[in-house]
Amino acid sequence: MSIIVNPISPVAFSIIGLDIRWYALAYIAAFVCGYFLFRHLAARPNSGIEITKKQLDDLLTAVILGVILGGRLGYVLFYNLSFFLAHPLEIFAVWHGGMSFHGGLIGVIIATFIAARKIKINAWRLLDLMAVVAPIGLFFGRIANFINMEVMGRPTSGPLGVIFAGTGDIVPRHPSPLYEAATEGVALFILMVCLYRFTGLRRHPGALGGILGMAYAVFRIFCEQFRAPDVQIGFLTSWGLTMGQLLSGAMFIAGAVIFTFAIRKK
């Protein structure tokens, strides 16, 4: 038996005619929660870094720009380049949705290295702390995807199938954003916190960042088995490879290389 869900409006509320969307609130919640957790971890004696509030604010600004610019450009380049070449102004219409985690990750890494050079702190140590914090943003982002009825799953006859009432799509589908919120968000957060707290990996700059890349890739590749491929791309191969799986495979390799160098480096 499928679950029938009444869609939640993408608009959370309006202020003087300005629509405030759940998507924007999800990003704000992710940045706020991530900021305070990062500050808490950085203040611990064994964090390996010393960062002032001013430096942390500068880093947060760089990360926000990295997430937004990298995520959007990643979506444009990886998922719908032909459309955006024909409609270049749509690149700036982020309220229509369309963000790439892999692009956002690249943006954050670049922004962190630039900010780290400015504030004179080891960039890999910063990225390790961000690896613990990042799943918070993934969780809120996937919940927003579900509210927006984005990146929904493949048809299913199982008990977890979801039908959004009033949308015209009466096919039960896997609620894949919720699967990703549970794995890439909750499970990955628990994993990274445990590795940070109960292992010595934080003494190897870059190790936790490498593990995040590998673990996220595994969760994403698994969840893509239930997620419908992007309409404008479809499957990349006859045996069902998706763009998300391809990018995650490359991410796993990069994470493994980073982790190996971090562990071997004296």
- Could you tell me where the beta strands, DSSP code E, fall in 194-253? none
Q: What pLDDT digit, counting tens, does each position of 38-59 carry?
A: 999 999 888 888 899 999 999 9
pLDDT at 221: 97
Q: In this structure, are strands 162-164 and 3-5 parallel, antiparallel, or unpaired? A: parallel
Q: What pLDDT digit, counting tens, does each position of 97-139 carry?
A: 678 899 999 999 999 999 999 989 999 999 999 999 999 999 9
The phi-psi region of residue 8 (left if phi > 0; otherwise alpha if psi is between -120 and 50; otherwise beta) is beta
3-state SS, residue 50: coil
* Torsion angle in degrees (nearest 10) through CA of 210, 214, 219, 222: 170
206 DSSP assignment: T
Q: Which residue has the higher pLDDT, 196 or 19?
A: 196
Instruction: List the alpha helices (DSSP H) in 148-206.
Output: 176-180, 188-198
Place of tokens 């390790």: 128
Q: What pLDDT digit, counting tens, does each position of 133-188 carry?
A: 999 999 999 999 898 888 889 999 888 889 887 777 888 999 999 999 999 999 99
Q: What pLDDT digit, counting tens, does each position of 217-231 carry?
A: 999 999 999 999 988
- Could you tell me where the beta strands, DSSP code E, fall in 31-181? 162-164
Buried b (16+ CB within 10 A) or exposed e, 3-37: eeeeeeebeeeeeeeeeebbbbebbebbbeebbeb
Contact yes or no for 159/214 (Cβ under 8 A): no
Cα–Cα distance, 80 to 197 (Å, whole number): 40
